[in-house]
Amino acid sequence: MTTTFNRKNPCTAKLLKAELLTVGCSEKDTWHNEISLQGSGLEYLPGDSLALFSHNSPALADELLTALGFSGSEQVEDPDGAPTDIRTALIESYAITAPDKKFLAAVDQKTAATTAFGELLAPDRKKELADWLWGREVIDVLLEYPDAKFTPEEFVSVLKKLQVRLYSIASSLKAQPDEVHLTVATVAYETFGRKRQGVCSTWLAERINTETPLRCFITPGKGFRPPEPDDETPIIMCGPGTGIAPFRAFLQERQATSAKGKAWLFFGEIHEATCFFYKEEWEHYLADGTLAKLTTAWSRDQQEKVYVQHKILENAAELWRWFEQGAIFYVCGDANRMAPDVDKALHAVVEAAGGKSPEEAAAYIAQMHTDKRYRSDVY
């Protein structure tokens, strides 16, 4: 009998290996993580995501405790009502980075002077509030308004529960039994003179080892699956950056099952020399026919930036032939800029190579969506 793992009953796994994929790149750190599922019975399919319970930075939790005047040993309840000390709660149970309206309202109420965000809490000021919040964290608000005094229980009561982080799975169980692989970029940036870090990506990169229990479960990617092995439908996969993850799973699965349809992969990153994730694997798949075509874009290896959407336009005629053969187009990665730019490029491909008007191209792409031949996993 297969055990059902979920948010309330997570699987406990262990890290097997962490490999830096961007050796020599000063602009970013992207990691390949291999996690053991040995003995768990956890199962997944290509296109699924792994949900991970992570921990906050202990250094950030300590900074919050100092700002609040707490020792860290004060007793509070975690979001499930279990007793714990506040330091543990801030590290393991509560969201302590992005402030929300509940927290801001509590600070505003406890502050004698007018806060900069007080009027922005009105329902019709969402855009202005979002602009004010951009780049700020809970610690910034506490430091800016030190007269907002909380008891330990009051403070945790105005925080949200620390949520799981989802990562597209970069492996196939058929190729990697009892393992799940991830491709994770470490989030790090600076705002308002302070260094910020992604909660789960930094936890994975800096604060776990092979003995750390990793609580996780699977989130199904129901509409984001490769065709069945005996289906000869061509597939086109567009996955720049960490968006490559599910397509590594697709190709592992397709090789393991001797899938019949041809496959084309678009991949992009900043530098070919230091950011060509899984290069040897793609070359192997090209050699054995699992992958028919690989098209790459390196945004900063030349004066003018080149992205996957530019490569899509360059290959318009061949893409159109694949579309007319019934190909399914998959895109995974950044939802804010990449995915809309890729979508515009696809419309342009249909117009230029298909000889369609803008209206006809829009209808063609809309029909691809309807026919489930245009599938997105963007975030």
pLDDT digits (tens, 9 = 90+) for 143-197: 999 999 999 999 999 999 999 999 999 999 999 999 999 999 999 999 999 999 9
Nearest-angstrom CA–CA distance, 303 and 309 = 17
Closest CA to 203 of 191, 216, 192, 190: 216
pLDDT digits (tens, 9 = 90+) for 115-144: 999 999 999 999 999 999 999 999 999 999
Distance, C-alpha 278 to centroid of its chain: 18
Token pair in block for residue 69: 């005047």
- Asked if residues 22 and 274 have their Cβ atoms less than 8 Å apart, the reply is yes
Residue 325, helix vs strand vs coil: coil
- Asked if residues 295 and 284 have their Cβ atoms less than 8 Å apart, the reply is no
Mean pLDDT of 291-313: 97
Q: Residue 26 gets which letter from DSSP?
A: S
Strands of 239-347, DSSP E: 263-269, 293-298, 328-333
Please report, for residues 6, 32, 107, 253, 319, the alpha-carbon distance to residue 171 in angstroms, rounded to integers and kept in the order given. Answer: 20, 11, 45, 8, 26
Mean pLDDT of 70-91: 98
Closest CA to 364 of 379, 342, 375, 349: 349
The whole-number pLDDT of residue 113 equals: 83
Please report, for residues 151, 316, 319, 340, 353, the alpha-carbon distance to residue 357 in angstroms, rounded to integers and kept in the order given. Answer: 64, 15, 17, 20, 11
Token pair in block for residue 117: 């965000």
- Domains by residue range for the chain, with CATH: 11-50+164-219 (2.40.30.10), 58-157 (1.20.990.10), 235-378 (3.40.50.80)
Residue 201, helix vs strand vs coil: helix
Residue 296 has pLDDT above 50, yes or no: yes
To the nearest whole percent, how much of the chain has pLDDT over 90? 98
Closest CA to 136 of 192, 198, 195, 57: 192
Closest CA to 286 of 72, 227, 56, 278: 278
Mean pLDDT of 36-62: 97
pLDDT band at 2; cut points 50, 70, 90? low
Nearest-angstrom CA–CA distance, 340 and 334 = 9
The whole-number pLDDT of residue 1 equals: 42
Strands of 6-58, DSSP E: 11-20, 30-36, 49-52
pLDDT digits (tens, 9 = 90+) for 183-233: 999 999 999 999 999 999 999 999 999 999 999 999 999 899 999 999 999
Residue 69 has pLDDT above 90, yes or no: yes
Residue 332, helix vs strand vs coil: strand
Predicted TM-score (pTM) of this structure = 0.96
The whole-number pLDDT of residue 257 equals: 97
